C-alpha cells in the first residue's frame, strides 16, 4: 500500500482527498500546521504536524514515511487578504512550496499533484477558460499559484519532478457520508455562508456587488463538488504512476451560476428563507469564471457526478446539520 503525503490534509479539500486516497488503497499522511485546518478532520491516515517552511521537519517526515507521491493543498487562499497583504502570499505560498518541492526531490519523491486555481487566469469575461487561456492573475493569490506552477516546470527540467497541476474553480459541497465537510476560520466561501445565514449563525449573507455585467448583477462562478474534485486528484496520481507526462487540467463543469441563483438553490434545498444584504464589490473579484474541462474528461476519464448546485448544497446541508460543525 503506497503512502502519499498530503499537505493541508486537515483542511477542507485535503481532508476529502485523504478519504478518497484511503478508499483507493493508499495511505494518506496529513502534513498540516493547523493554521487553517482542524485536527478533527484527520481521520483517514497518520497525522504529522509541521509547517511547510520547516525543511528539517519535512525531511524528517519524508524519511519516516517514504511517500511515493505528494498532493499539495496547503496554501493561503483568500482573495481580499491577498490584495491587502501580498507579501504574506508570496512567503506563505511560494517560498513554502519551494521548500516542499526541494524536500520532495531530495527524498526521491518525484510524483507531485498540485492544487492550483482558476485565479491564475484573471479576468477573461465571456470566455470559457481552458488550459491554453493566458494566465493573467489579478491578485497575489493567483500570482503565487502561477509561480508555483512555473517552479514545478523548472524542477521537472532539472530533476525529473513529474507533476499534474489542477486549476479548479469554486469548490463546494461535502462528503456525502458527512464524515468531513467545509469549515473555515473565518468563513468566506459562499455555500457555508449561505447555510450559516439560513440557520442564524450569521445575521445574513452579504452579496459583494450587484452591478456586475451579468443577468442578475451578481458574479457568476463554476462550482464543482469537492468529492468530484478529489476523485480527479486520485486519477491524476494514477496518471503519474502510469508514467505519463506532466500535465495541466482544469476542473469545473462548464456551467456558471450567479450568487443569486445559488441563493435560490439554498432556499429550495433547506426549505428556509436566506436572509440577504448587499455590499460593495471586493477587489480582485472577476465577473465570470467558467471552466472548460474537456481535457480532464478525455484524458483522465474524469466525470463530475455530484456537481449540480442542488446536490452540492444538499450534501453541505447534511454535514452542516450533523454536529461536526461545532467541533
- Which residues carry out catalysis? 141
Sign of CA dihedral 269, 275, 280, 283: negative
Question: How far, in Å, CA of 236 to CA of 234, rounded?
Answer: 5
Question: How far, in Å, CA of 173 to CA of 195, rounded?
Answer: 11
Question: How far, in Å, CA of 183 to CA of 201, rounded?
Answer: 13
Cell of 155: 524542477
Instruction: Please name every residue paired with 289 in a beta bridge, in sequence order, or none if there are none.
Output: 221
Burial class (CB in 10 A: 0-12, 13-18, 19+), 245: exposed
- Residue whose grid cell is 433547506: 270
Number of Cβ atoms within 10 Å of the Cβ of 301 = 11
Instruction: Please name every residue paired with 170 in a beta bridge, in sequence order, or none if there are none.
Output: 223
Question: How far, in Å, CA of 8 to CA of 71, rounded?
Answer: 9
Question: How far, in Å, CA of 325 to CA of 183, rounded?
Answer: 7
**How many angstroms separate the most distant Cα atoms in the chain?**
56
If phi > 0 it is left, if psi is from -120 to 50 it is alpha, else beta; for residue 51 that is beta
Cell of 203: 445575521
Closest CA relative to residue 100, chosen from 31, 193, 189: 31
Contacts of 267 (CB under 8 A, 6+ apart): 273, 274
Q: How many CA atoms lie within 13 A of 259 on its CB side?
A: 28
Amino acid at each position: 500500500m503506497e503512502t502519499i503525503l498530503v499537505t493541508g490534509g486537515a483542511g477542507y479539500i485535503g481532508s476529502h482527498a485523504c478519504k478518497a486516497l484511503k478508499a483507493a488503497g493508499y495511505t494518506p499522511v496529513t502534513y498540516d500546521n493547523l493554521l487553517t485546518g482542524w485536527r478533527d478532520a484527520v481521520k483517514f491516515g497518520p497525522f504529522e504536524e509541521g509547517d511547510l517552511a520547516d525543511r528539517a521537519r519535512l525531511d524528517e517526515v519524508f524519511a519516516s514515511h517514504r511517500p511515493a507521491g505528494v498532493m499539495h493543498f496547503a496554501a493561503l487562499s483568500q482573495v481580499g487578504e491577498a490584495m491587502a497583504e501580498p507579501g504574506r502570499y508570496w512567503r506563505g505560498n511560494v517560498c513554502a512550496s519551494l521548500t516542499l518541492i526541494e524536500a520532495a526531490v531530495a527524498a526521491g519523491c518525484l510524483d507531485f499533484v498540485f492544487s492550483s486555481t482558476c485565479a491564475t487566469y484573471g479576468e477573461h469575461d465571456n470566455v470559457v477558460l481552458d488550459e491554453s487561456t493566458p494566465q493573467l492573475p489579478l491578485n497575489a493569490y493567483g500570482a503565487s499559484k502561477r509561480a508555483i506552477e512555473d517552479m514545478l516546470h523548472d524542477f521537472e527540467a532539472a530533476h525529473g519532478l513529474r507533476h499534474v497541476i489542477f486549476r479548479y474553480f469554486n469548490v463546494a459541497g461535502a462528503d456525502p457520508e458527512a464524515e468531513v465537510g467545509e469549515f473555515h476560520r473565518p468563513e468566506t466561501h459562499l455555500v457555508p455562508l449561505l447555510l450559516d445565514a439560513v440557520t442564524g449563525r450569521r445575521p445574513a449573507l452579504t452579496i459583494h456587488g450587484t452591478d456586475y455585467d451579468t443577468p442578475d448583477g451578481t458574479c457568476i462562478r463554476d462550482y464543482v463538488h469537492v468529492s468530484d474534485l478529489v476523485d480527479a486528484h486520485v486519477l491524476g496520481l494514477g496518471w503519474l504512476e502510469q508514467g505519463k507526462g506532466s500535465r495541466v487540467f482544469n476542473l469545473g463543469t462548464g456551467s456558471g451560476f450567479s450568487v443569486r441563483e445559488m441563493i435560490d438553490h439554498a432556499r429550495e434545498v433547506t426549505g428556509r428563507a436566506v436572509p440577504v444584504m448587499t455590499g460593495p464589490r471586493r477587489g480582485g473579484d472577476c465577473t465570470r469564471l467558467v471552466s472548460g474541462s474537456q481535457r480532464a474528461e478525455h484524458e483522465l476519464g474524469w466525470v463530475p457526478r455530484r456537481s449540480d448546485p442542488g446536490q452540492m448544497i444538499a450534501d453541505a446541508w447534511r454535514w452542516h446539520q450533523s454536529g461536526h460543525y461545532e467541533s
